[in-house]
């Protein structure tokens, strides 16, 4: 299945919190739901749960998620 990389704008405090939760094998639900919603806005259908892959180094800070999507059938 193809993957879509989603970048969500964030602040440093939230990014640290999401990273700490990920390192503790927990999930930050608001950002996970935002990643799923972004995939829908891109016109793709999510095939699984968004997977947190990291935080960008730039400004503004971005949360990075990979989301497995169904292949285009059109």
| pLDDT per residue as tens digits for the range 29-61 | 999 999 999 999 999 999 999 999 999 998 899
Mean pLDDT (the chain) is: 95
Token pair listed for 50: 């968004």
pTM over 0.85: yes
- CA separation, residue 17 to residues 7, 26, 45, 64 (Å): 16, 11, 28, 14
- The residue ranges of DSSP E strands in 1-74, in sequence order, are 3-9, 51-55, 62-68
What confidence score (pLDDT) does residue 73 get? 57
First to last CA, the chain: 16
- CA separation, residue 38 to residues 20, 24, 34, 42, 46 (Å): 23, 25, 6, 6, 10
Residue 14, pLDDT > 90, answer yes
């Amino acid at each position: 299945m193809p993957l879509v990389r989603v970048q969500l704008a964030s602040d440093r405090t939230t990014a640290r919190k999401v990273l700490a939760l990920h390192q503790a094998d927990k999930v930050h639900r608001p950002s996970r739901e935002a990643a799923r919603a972004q995939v829908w806005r891109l016109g793709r259908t999510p095939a699984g749960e968004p997977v947190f892959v990291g935080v960008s180094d730039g400004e503004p800070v971005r949360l990075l998620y990979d989301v497995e999507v169904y292949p285009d059938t059109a």
